Amino acid sequence: MRKYASALAVFVVSLMVLPLAAQAPGQSELSAIHQIKDEGFNDSKVMEIMSYLTDVYGPRLTNSPDIKEAANWTTGKMKEWQLANVHLEPWGPFGRGWSNERFSAQVISPRPFPLIAYPKAWTPGTNGPVTAAAVLAPILKEEDIAKYRGQLKGKFVLTAAFPENPERFEPQAHRYTDSELAELATQPVPVANAEDRAAQFRAQRELSLKIQKFLVDEGVAAWIEPSRSDDGTVFVQQGGGRDKEKDPPAPPRVAVASENYGRIYRMLDKKVPVTLQLDIENKFYDDDLNSFNIIGEITGTDKAKADEVVMLGAHFDSWHGGTGATDNGAGSAVMLEAIRILKTTGLKMRRTVRIGLWTGEEQGLLGSRAYVKQHFADPEVMKPSPEHAKLDGYYNVDNGTGKIRGVYLQGNEMVAPIFSAWMEPFHDLGMNTLTIRNTGGTDHLAFNAVGLPGFQFIQDPLDYDSRTHHSNMDVYERIQEPDMKQMAVIVASFVYLTANRDEMIPRKPLPKPQPARPQP
C-alpha cells in the first residue's frame, strides 16, 4: 500500500549528542549480530522465498485461491524451520474471493494491435469473446452522464479524458542521498493543511459509483479506463465490490496502458471507427467469506520474560496485475528470512518472537487491525487486554525492495537513543537515520492506534512509486537481492536486541478512543 509521510513533527536524532553508552550493544550482542550477518549474507534463503511467493504462487489477492496456496506453502516452510505455534488465524468477514482465469484484449480495426491491459478486481467477465465498437463518452462530472444515455448498450466505453504522458528526463529508480536523509531528519514546524483530501476522494468515488451504475444500466460490454503512468505500465486495483448483497453491481472493467488508451482515444476523436475484442473470464468465490493471518513463533528462553512478545510482520496480500513482488512479497520474504535466521542460528532470545503476515492490507489494513483488536485492544473503546501489556514492540517492512536506511519513530522520542545505538553496527550498510516522522498506509499503524510501539523502516524508494507499486511491473525482476539480504539482517538484529533487552520498548501514552469513521 502507498506510504505517506506525515507533515507533523519531524525529529533529528544526532548520533553525536545522545547518551548511547548505556544502550550500545555489548560484546555478546555484537557476537550475535556477527552470526546473524554470517547466516543472512552467506547462506541466505530470501530470494528462494521471494521466488516461491511471486513466481510459483503469483499475485496474492485476499481470499483468492492463490493467496491460500501461498499461505499453505508458507506455513509448511515455517514448520520445516521448526517454529512453534504455526497456524492460520481467521478473521472476517472479508467478502468474496476473486480471480482472473483468462484475459485477452486487442483492437480489431481499423488496424489490429494487442492491448496491454488488465481486468479490475471483483468485476465480472464477458462470458466469452466479445467483439464490439469502442465509444468515446467522456464523463468528467455528473451532468455529463445525460449526454450519453441510451447510446452505449453493447459498446466498449471510454469515459476518461485524454491521458497525459509527459516526457521523462530523470531516472525513475532512486536511492536516498545524504542530503535527502538529512532533510528527512529535520523538524519543520507543522502547518495546517487547507486542502481537504478526504473530501476530494469522497467526491471522486461518488462520481465513479454514479458512472458505474449508469454503465451497468446502459448494458455496456465493458468499461475501458486508462492507467496512470506510461511505458506500458498498468496500475490496476479494484473495480467491483466484495459484498454480493450490499455492493452495487459493476460492468466488466479493464485498465489499459495509457499509450494504448491514447491511440484509441485519438482515433475515436477523429471519428475513425474502432472495434475491440475482449475475452475475460473472472471467478468469484463465495464458499468462505473470512480471511486469515499467518502466525508463527520462536518461544522465549527466559521463564520470567517468555510471555512477553516481540513481533515482526508484513502484509502478505497483493494486487493482481503483477506478482506482488515489491508490494509486498519483499516485506513478507524479509520477515520470513529474518525469523529463519534467528531460528537457524540458535541464538537465545529471552522474549518470545512472533511473526505475523497479514491479509486484507490492500483493502484497509484489515488483517492487522483484526489481529490487534482480537489480541490487544479495540481502538474504538481503548480498553487494553492482558496481552497488550506483554507486547514489547512490532517491526514492519512494506516500502518495496530498497535497503533500510533508518527507522520512522512514529512520534516516540523515548526510543531514539535505543535505536540510535542499535544502528551503529549497520552504519556501513547504509543505516544511519532516525526521524520522529510518522509514515502511514501500512500495518504498523494498527499497533500504534492502540498505544503499542509499532515501527516502519526507512527504505530507499528505488522505483516503487514510479513503476512497481500496484502495477503489472511488480514482479520478481524488480527485486534487489543485496538490499533484501541487508533488510533481513537488520530486522533480525533489531528483533534479537529487543527480545533480550532488560526493559521493554518505551511506549507513548495510550491514545483516546477513536470512533469508527464511516466508509467513503
Domains and CATH numbers, the chain: 27-94+290-500 (3.40.630.10), 97-177+195-285 (3.50.30.30)
pLDDT band at 153; cut points 50, 70, 90: very high
User: What integer is the mean pLDDT of 480-498?
Assistant: 98
**Could you tell me the CA-to-CA distances from 120 to 61, 136, 212, 277, 329 in Å, in that order?**
12, 20, 13, 17, 20
Q: What is the pLDDT of residue 201?
A: 82
Torsion of CA 479, 483, 484, 486, to 10 degrees: 180
Is the pLDDT reported for residue 249 higher than 60? Answer: yes
Q: Can you give the pLDDT at residue 515?
A: 84
Burial of 170 (0-12, 13-18, 19+ CB in 10 A): exposed
| pLDDT confidence tier of residue 165, bands split at 50, 70 and 90 | confident
CA distance 495 to 185: 23
Q: Is the pLDDT of residue 10 over 90?
A: no
Mean pLDDT along residues 332-343: 98
pLDDT band at 236 (very low <50, low <70, confident <90, very high): very high
Backbone dihedral angles phi then psi of residue 201, each to the nearest 5 degrees = -60, -45
Q: What pLDDT is stored for residue 518 in this prediction?
A: 58
Report the run of H or E that residue 136 belongs to, with start and end: strand 130-136
Q: Given pLDDT bands bounded at 50, 70 and 90, which one contains residue 7?
A: very low
Give the pLDDT confidence of 20-36 residue by residue, as tens digits: 555 789 999 999 999 99
Enter the pTM of the model. 0.94
**At residue 141, does pLDDT exceed 50?**
yes
Average pLDDT over residues 113-140: 97
Q: In the prediction, which pLDDT does 516 show? A: 77
The closest alpha carbon to 505, from 461, 457, 444, 452, belongs to: 452
222-226 and 253-256 strand pairing: parallel
Report whether pLDDT(419) > 90: yes
Q: How confident is the model at residue 492 (pLDDT cuts 50, 70, 90)?
A: very high
Does residue 323 have a pLDDT over 50?
yes
Give the H/E segment covering residue 386: none
SS3 letters for 297-359?
Answer: EECCCCCCCCCCEEEEEEECCCCCCCCCHHHHHHHHHHHHHHHHHHHHHCCCCCCEEEEEEEC
Nine-digit cell string for 307: 510471555
Residue 16's pLDDT band, with cuts at 50, 70 and 90, is very low
Across 149-153, 229-233, 391-395, 431-435, least confident range: 229-233
471 pLDDT exceeds 60? yes
The alpha carbon of residue 90 and the mean position of all alpha carbons in its chain are separated, in whole angstroms, by 20
Q: Tens of pLDDT along 356-389?
A: 999 999 999 999 999 999 999 999 999 999 999 9
pLDDT at 12: 43
Supply the pLDDT for residue 19: 52
Q: What is the pLDDT of residues 50-90, one digit of tens each?
A: 999 999 999 999 999 999 999 999 999 999 999 999 999 99
What cell was used for 202? 469522497
Please indicate whether residue 205 or residue 451 has the higher confidence score (pLDDT).
451
Q: Tell me, what's the pLDDT at 167?
A: 81
The predicted pLDDT at position 198 comes to: 74
Grid cell of 76 as nine digits: 509448511
Cell for 34? 556477527
What is the per-residue pLDDT for 193? 64
